[in-house]
Every structure is written in C-alpha cells, then in structure tokens.
Structure 1
Amino acid sequence: MLNRESAPVKGLWNGVGGKIKMNETAKECARREVKEETALKVHLDELVYKGLITWEADGSDKGGMYVYLINLPKDFSFPTPKKVREGILDWKKISWLVDDQNLGTGEMPPPIICPTC
C-alpha cells in the first residue's frame, strides 16, 4: 500500500496504480505504475488479473479499477516502510485493509473481500 503525499487521497493508504494512458492496455498500465511507484520491475506474465471493481455514488456510475496481483517468491525481500517519490510504501494485511474500523483508507479502495486473492 502507498500512503500518498498528494491529492486526491493525501495522507491515506491506497493501492499502487494509476490511470491508463492512450494505446496502453490495463495490464501494461499495471506494470508501468508498479515500476513508477515502487521501482520494482514486473513482467507482464507475472501480473494475474483478478477482476474489475466498479463503484457508484448517488445512483450514478462513478468509476472503476482493474485489479492485478503478483505472486512473489518466498525469498522475495522488499523492506518497508520505504519512502518513495509519491509517499510511503508499506505492506498491509488484507484483514487490516477490510476492517470496518480502519479509517486510514478513506473511501478508497472500495470495501471488498477477496477470499481467493
């Protein structure tokens, strides 16, 4: 997770990601954003598509995001917390992320439960 230093979610924990550029696939965007925000190089075949999450507010379509996961080797090491250009990176447990009492993520990401992630 990334505790961002700029709007729109300044000071809140959010997943690594961003907007898809013209002529870029969602998977290519995920690879680029991981590299830009974490400096980790990921191959396209390492990204596992998990679905599309959409949300709405006041009865109108508000937005959506593609979800990709990366299976890391058991000996993978990426010490955190780590200061990066966009904020602070840190590993978070899924139980922390979806806890109803957790105010550190604000309204983003939308509350989800992913038992197969």
Structure 2
Amino acid sequence: MILTTMCYIQKDHQTLMLHRIKKENDINGGKWIGVGGKFEEGESAEECMRREIYEETGLTALKLQLHGFVVFPKLYHGQDEGMFVYTCWDFSGEIHECDEGILQWIDNDQISSLPMWEGDYHFFEWIQDSKFHSAKIVYENDQLIDYQESCY
C-alpha cells in the first residue's frame, strides 16, 4: 500500500486548493485537490503532511488536525493507496508557486462546484464534525463506484 497525506489549509471561510494542471500524466490532472503527497521513508503521517505543505505551498503548518483515513483500492497504478486527511488553520509564511498546479484560496461555499474526485467532496463533511472517519472509496475509470464510511 502506498501511504499519502492530504490537507485542506483554511482561513477566513476559505480553503487553499490546488488545481492540478502542470504535471504530465498526472492521476489528478485537471482536478482541484488539497495539498499533500506520498510518505518518504521513515516519516510519520504528520511529518509527511508538514513536509508536503511546505514543499507545495511555502507555508509552515503550526497545528494540524487529523480527520480520518481513507483507502483507495488499486487506485495508484494498480496498488492500494491509504491517505490521511488533515486540516490546518494555524500556519505561517507566504505562499509560493507550486510546480504541480495553481494554488488558489476558494470560498468554502464554492468548493462543491469545483471539478474534484467525487469522493473528495465527503472530506469537507468530515471537517465539520469532531469525529474520526474511516472510509474505503473505490473508483473505476475515474468514476466513483463504491463509498463506505465509518466514524467514531
């Protein structure tokens, strides 16, 4: 299983979103996503998340909140992907250009109109409560075919 992280950085009723339009052969090509990426050897989920936030945005995450874990069977080039979903409201620094796409602050009430992975819309529901969520999201040809969730 490939382990990854995803963070929705938030301020003033907005979320920093990444429009993935710069990389060739990008599994996320054309979609809006949070920032994040794959674990490096020896990293914890939080270490990975902090590093990815800094690399992709230039921001330093001061506090992170973990909302859940999701498994995507066979999504990543035929391998399962496990992803930790975070938010960050406390950060410092200035946003810089990202080589994977365009970073943009989006009003929270506009996020549902963005072209995203269908399962990602659920993560914004997760952010609204104080529960820990565990999910399995199955895609076939980029289409959501199964969503299972538990929360604690």
1:108/1:89 CA distance change after superposition, 3 Å: farther
**Structure 1 regions of 5+ residues with no counterpart?**
none
1:104 corresponding residue in structure 2: 115
Question: Helix, strand or coil for the counterpart of 2:68?
Answer: strand
1:26 corresponding residue in structure 2: 45
Question: Helix, strand or coil for the counterpart of 1:52?
Answer: strand
Query: Could you tell me the percent identity over the aligned residues?
Result: 32
Residue 2 in structure 1 maps to residue 18 in structure 2: yes
Q: How does 1:1-117 map to 2 (within 5 A)?
A: 1-4=17-20, 5-6=22-23, 7-43=26-62, 46-56=63-73, 62-72=80-90, 83-97=97-111, 99=112, 102=113, 104-107=115-118, 109=120, 111-112=122-123, 113-114=125-126, 115-116=128-129
1:106/1:50 CA distance change after superposition, 3 Å: closer
Task: Give the deviation of 1:108 after TM superposition.
Answer: 5.8
Contact 2:19 2:33 in 1 (8 A): yes
1:71/1:85 CA distance change after superposition, 3 Å: same
Look up the equivalent residue of 1:63 and give its one-letter code.
E
Query: If each structure's strand is expressed as a fraction of its own residues, which one has the higher value?
Result: 2
Task: Give the deviation of 1:67 after TM superposition.
Answer: 1.3
Q: TM-score, normalised by structure 2?
A: 0.55
CA displacement 1:74-94 (0-9 Å, x = unmatched): xx8968xx7422210112344
Alpha-carbon RMSD:
3.0
- The 2-side partners of 1:77 and 1:29 are apart by 18
Q: TM-score, normalised by structure 1?
A: 0.69
**Structure 2 regions of 5+ residues with no counterpart?**
1-16, 131-152
1:71/1:106 CA distance change after superposition, 3 Å: closer
CA displacement 1:38-95 (0-9 Å, x = unmatched): 011224xx112222123447xxx9433101211238xx8968xx74222101123444
Contact 2:18 2:102 in 1 (8 A): yes
Question: Helix, strand or coil for the counterpart of 2:55?
Answer: helix
Question: Helix, strand or coil for the counterpart of 2:65?
Answer: strand
Name the count of aligned residue pairs: 105
- The 2-side partners of 1:111 and 1:63 are apart by 17
Contact 1:55 1:110 in 2 (8 A): no
